[in-house]
Chain A
Amino acid sequence: MRGAPRGRHWRARLEVGRRAGCALLLLLLALRPHAAAADDPLGVRLGRHLSESPQLVDLEARRELERLGVTLQLFYNQYLGWKARGAGSDATGHSGSYDFFARVDAEESLGLPGLSGLFHVKGQYDDQINGDVGALSDPVDDADFDQGIYVDELWLEQSLFEGALRMRAGFVEQQTLYDRNAYANSEDRQFMNSYFDNNPLVPLPDALSAALIVTPVHGLELAMGVADADNLPRSAGFDTAFDGADSLDAYFEARLTTPWARGDRPLPGALRLGVFRDGRSRTVFGRVHSDGEPVTERGHWGGWLSFDQAITREDARSEQGLGVFARVGYADPDVNSIAWLWEVGGQYQGLLPGRDHDVFGVAAYQAIAGDRYQDRVDSDFEGEAGIEVYYRCMVLPWLTVTPDLQYIVDPGGFDDTQDAVVALLRFRVTF
């Protein structure tokens, strides 16, 4: 978050310490029963409850609802951040968010063939270090603003011809439709930096939108659609969605499934190639009207590539094994300070013996400045690069703890800025 106050006063530090203490207590609670199991009946019971319960609240009613086509999921994510190095003083911060999902498969629940829908409610608070780091990317992508509760998604999808044609309409996170990636697409479960959540050059608003997904042949999927480019944050969007085609983002993505397998073990992978039209009003660098006002335009084009591939799998169903990914993005340099972006990385699930659900991930990105911005606006601006490493540890079936380290080169895009080192800790609770 840009513009957050630099440094923290002692009360904020106390707050971070208190939250870290709570997290530590939670960890100790989780680990203690195993040590005490041999001679403490209470420890045995508690340990069994904590380690064997598939969820913190495992309601049989929820399972019954799933059989009737209604799936409910609730998660809480807590982040602790520390800027250990970089311009300005050290800083600590924290943020948190919850996500509630209700998915309805109406074919199961109402007998309406091919109809499904999603209702996603979210809330979050942000006292994080993104502003202190001052990077183009957000080291903690999940920290956006303070809002107790809001509707993040509400859409319906109609599937026809056994899924060969699908139509989705409603309030949609565009990142669920385009630029997806198996290993770098969720700040809650995978990499925390915003650049590894989605390609930052592709405008992907949460907005009123419509999309069509076509599967003409096995292994090829085409997704296309439009979204309201002017949607105001946390607004329903009806005021801006229908004010003309010029202010719509448009997308077309071709997704090719890779064919590889090793024996009976499929190696899932996909290559996605997409183009977009940016419907936002953008300032054209170096062009002004006769009255001195900068020229703004809509409708600039760009493209993306997103690739993921499993390299090894321990068995057919398991997610265990090595997977790699890559992204490339291009945006019109007339209106974007960053014209090119590439990123590569990978993850290994089950790297350590006996830790089948733990995930180790490492990735790097480079955001490259556009010539026009350098020529017309700021010749010192060069772009930014970064590396992120994380280890997601499943402490209990319902609790994962993820230490994360990021090294950001030239944060903000200028090489006279000291490189930043950010250490993060994420707790994710599945209810």
Chain B
Amino acid sequence: MGRAAVCAAALALAVACTRPTQLVYDAEVAETPVGARHAVHSERIRELMAGLDRLERGRLPQAMDVELERDRRIDDVARAARDLAESAGELADLAPKLDLDAVKREAFVGHARALERDTRALADEAPVLSVAAMRERTLAIRTDCDRCHDQFRVDPNPVEP
């Protein structure tokens, strides 16, 4: 009985000290400025795809309806991808306000529109894509992110020469 109480207390403490990632995501979306919100959505897609991987490789009882849960989780990925596409569009709309010359501004808008296009395609096609194909699409989206960040992200901790 004593051990059970300790276990229950430890579990209650763990639950009290942590928050579900969906709630963390919801809060971060609300708190993050428009220009940085795409990073929150992108991270959420990564988390959801990792969850899908765990489900797919889970060696769960065949009596469970894993397909049903998989399809619902894919819906969640599609929803997050749609949000990311919206954020990418907002990012492109921000370009005129940024301190960039015309060439760089065009490049910035191009990257943002590429991200918007690829994430919207993922959102639209998710219902008919296999999980493996979705994984490839998310890797392509990450490449979109890296291309833009390589060119425009300011290093917050630059190394002094």
Contact = CB atoms under 8 A, between A and B. Distances in A.
Contacts of B23: 68
B18 A99 contact: no
A110 B14 contact: yes
Contact of A317 (B58, B62, B68, B128): B128
Contacts of B50: 107, 162
Contacts of A316: 128-130, 133
A120 B60 CA distance: 11
B65 A186 contact: no
B15 to A, nearest CB: 6
A319 B71 CA distance: 12
Contacts of A110: 14-15, 18, 20
Contacts of B73: 66
A317 B18 contact: no
B61 A317 contact: no
B61 A176 contact: yes
B22 interface: yes
A180 B133 contact: no
B21 interface: yes
A177 B59 contact: yes
Interface in A96-112: 99, 101, 103, 105, 107-112
Instruction: From A73, A99, A168, name the one whose CB has the most chain B CB atoms within 10 angstroms.
Output: A73
Interface in A5-60: 54
B24 A111 contact: yes
Given A111-B21, A266-B130, A316-B130, A66 B63 contact: no
Contact of B22 (A108, A153, A166, A180): A108
A173 interface: yes
B72 A73 contact: no
B133 A73 contact: no
Interface string B21-41: 111100000000000000000
Interface string B2-26: 0000000000001100111111100
A223 to B, nearest CB: 8
Contacts of B15: 110
B159 interface: no
B54 A68 contact: no
Interface residues of B, number: 36
B67 interface: yes
A118 B64 CA distance: 11
Given A101-B61, A118-B60, A107 B129 contact: no
Nearest to A114: B54
A355 interface: no
A101 B64 contact: yes
A176 B57 contact: no
Contacts of B127: 317
Contact of B64 (A73, A162, A168): A73
A68 B20 contact: yes
Contacts of B18: 110-112
Contacts of B61: 99, 101, 118, 120, 153, 173, 176, 186
| Chain B interface helix/strand/loop/mixed | helix
Contacts of B72: 63, 66
Instruction: From B20, B54, B62, name the one whose CB has the most chain A CB atoms within 10 angstroms.
Output: B62
A107 B14 CA distance: 12
A315 B72 CA distance: 18
Contacts of A101: 61, 63-64
A354 to B, nearest CB: 19
Instruction: From B15, B22, B58, name the one whose CB has the most chain A CB atoms within 10 angstroms.
Output: B58
A185 B15 CA distance: 35
Given A266-B132, A315-B128, A107 B59 contact: no
A188 B65 contact: no
Contacts of A215: 57
B69 interface: yes
A316 B133 CA distance: 9
Nearest to A255: B59
B51 interface: yes
A293 interface: no
B54 A107 contact: yes
A67 B67 contact: no
A69 B54 contact: no
Interface in A291-334: 315-317, 319
A107 B18 CA distance: 10
Contacts of A258: none
B133 A264 contact: yes
A108 B67 contact: no
A186 B59 contact: no
Contacts of B55: 105
Given A71-B69, A317-B129, 14 more contacts: A75-B65, A99-B63, A101-B63, A107-B47, A111-B18, A111-B19, A112-B18, A188-B62, A213-B59, A215-B57, A221-B57, A264-B133, A316-B129, A430-B65
Interface of B: 14-15, 18-24, 47, 50-51, 53-55, 57-65, 67-69, 72-73, 76, 127-130, 132-133
Among all A-B residue pairs, the 3 with the closest Cβ atoms: A186-B62, A68-B20, A110-B18
19 contacts: A54-B68, A66-B72, A67-B22, A69-B20, A69-B22, A103-B69, A108-B21, A110-B14, A110-B20, A111-B19, A112-B18, A118-B60, A163-B54, A166-B57, A189-B62, A189-B63, A223-B59, A264-B133, A266-B130
